[in-house]
Structure 1
Amino acid sequence: MRDCKLRSLILISIIAAISFLIMIFEFALPVFPPFLKLDFSDLPALLIGFSLGPASGIGVVFIRNLLHLTITATMGVGELANFLISGTFVFISAYFYARYKKAVLSLIVGTAGMVIMALITNLLIIIPLYEAILDLPLENTILAARAVNPAIEGINSYLAMVIAPFNLLKATLVSIVFYPIFKRIRLTSTYKNIKGDD
């Protein structure tokens, strides 16, 4: 039992390091403000979450963000946001998969959870912390978003037209890439105990 836990911990740590390396290769999309970056670092976390359980997936997200603190440009605010938002996506998706063994349904529910958490986190945590810690007024964020989308006028339109669609797009793209990879891995001997309907 101890050896099994140790192997799982080592695997989670290795996958978290890979997730961190993937996180470095982030890129902006022209339809969103440049401070919102897309990356695929949730892929390894989802793989671990679906194979070992939601707690293991959360562990990957947590360790990944601890590693990212060594190169942070946001004094930890960005890492906190990433942990809360991506962690929600990974945890809910992995939890539903563990319970119902339906990968597509699990990813859809996880995506919905990620969007909701992104809205809550931005409103109650990220924006206030950026103002308090990084001295970045909300007005500056709105102006940067308005430069891309002139329809954005305030916090409500910013959340509805920037934060929600960005996280919806991110989770959808990650899910689209993840699903065929997971199906392939599920057929290997290492993960032959993972069963599911889709």
Structure 2
Amino acid sequence: MSEFVSTKKAPFLSAQMIAKVAVLGAFAFLVMMFEVPIPFFVSFYKLGFDEVVVMIGGFALGPLAAVMIEAIKILLNLLVNSTVTAGVGELSNFLVGCAYVIPAAIYYQRHKDKQHAWLALGIGTLCMTIAGTLINYFFILPMYSAMLPLPMDDLIAAGTALNGNIDSLFMFVLLMTAPFNFVKATLSSLIVALSYKRVSGLLKR
């Protein structure tokens, strides 16, 4: 039997399942606190691995559990970081995070083996990259620009300082946002693939 095949799960609304979701949500929040900026990207794009926890929960407990873990993580972070733009940022994190974990968890629940787990993570990575790019272009970056206030030209200039090809919002999300989300999702997926077997047993007890 494949190492990725899970055992029969408890009913979703059982006390056991709710407790697992709550613990994973709290742990994802703690991991989220250790986000760091990375070279070649604007400073407000920070790399964190909280989605690793959410994805492991999604694989082991299902896509609905992944959404709830994501929501708990976001709500806890909102309570701690109640800044002017926190709501916008956390809504973005929730939507982009769901775009990563939901398609992957749904696919994995239907094809529970190691080969399809890798494919599920690839699907999640692609969805996160596309969704993150569109959400930032149409909603998040314009909202940030209006709320801070941060002129859009200044935001674009921050990207231009790192990549001379960035001369518009479209090029910003194409050359800055999309690569960042791809890198974050790819690294998270690698960690999930390497660690799931070791930790999934704890969630199945």
**Deviation for aligned residue 1:142:** 0.8
Residue type at the aligned position of 1:88: A
Aligned to 2:197: 183
Aligned to 1:26: 35
**Deviation for aligned residue 1:166:** 0.4
| Residues 5-53 of structure 1: CA deviation (Å, up to 9, x unaligned) | 2211111111111100100100011111111000000111111100110
Unaligned runs of 5+ in 2: 1-9
Among candidates 137, 151, 159, match of residue 173 of structure 2: 159
What is the 5 A alignment of 1:45-194? 45-72=54-81, 73=83, 74-101=85-112, 102-186=116-200, 188=201, 191=204
Change beyond 3 A, Cα 1:141–1:71: farther
**Deviation for aligned residue 1:71:** 2.8
Unaligned runs of 5+ in 1: 193-198
Matches of 1:3 and 1:60 in 2, distance apart? Answer: 13
How high is the TM-score relative to the length of structure 1? Answer: 0.90
Q: Does 1:40 align with 2:54?
A: no
Matches of 2:12 and 2:107 in 1, distance apart? Answer: 27
Percent identity between matched residues is 35
Runs of 4+ in 1 over 3 A off after TM superposition: 1-4, 188-192
Q: Which structure is richer in relative contact order (CA contacts within 8 A, separation 6 or more)?
A: 2
Is 1:185–1:191's contact at 8 Å kept on the other side of the alignment? no
| Equivalent residues, number | 191
Change beyond 3 A, Cα 1:107–1:28: same
Change beyond 3 A, Cα 1:164–1:2: closer
Matches of 2:131 and 2:203 in 1, distance apart? Answer: 33
| Residues 56-110 of structure 1: CA deviation (Å, up to 9, x unaligned) | 0111111100111123342311101100001110111111101222110000001
Is 2:11–2:17's contact at 8 Å kept on the other side of the alignment? no
Is 1:49–1:90's contact at 8 Å kept on the other side of the alignment? yes
**Deviation for aligned residue 1:189:** 7.1
Question: What's the secondary structure of 1:79's corresponding residue?
Answer: helix
Q: Superposition RMSD on alpha carbons, in Å?
A: 1.9
Query: Does 128-137 or 112-121 show the bigger shift?
Result: 128-137
Query: Does 127-136 or 175-184 show the bigger shift?
Result: 127-136
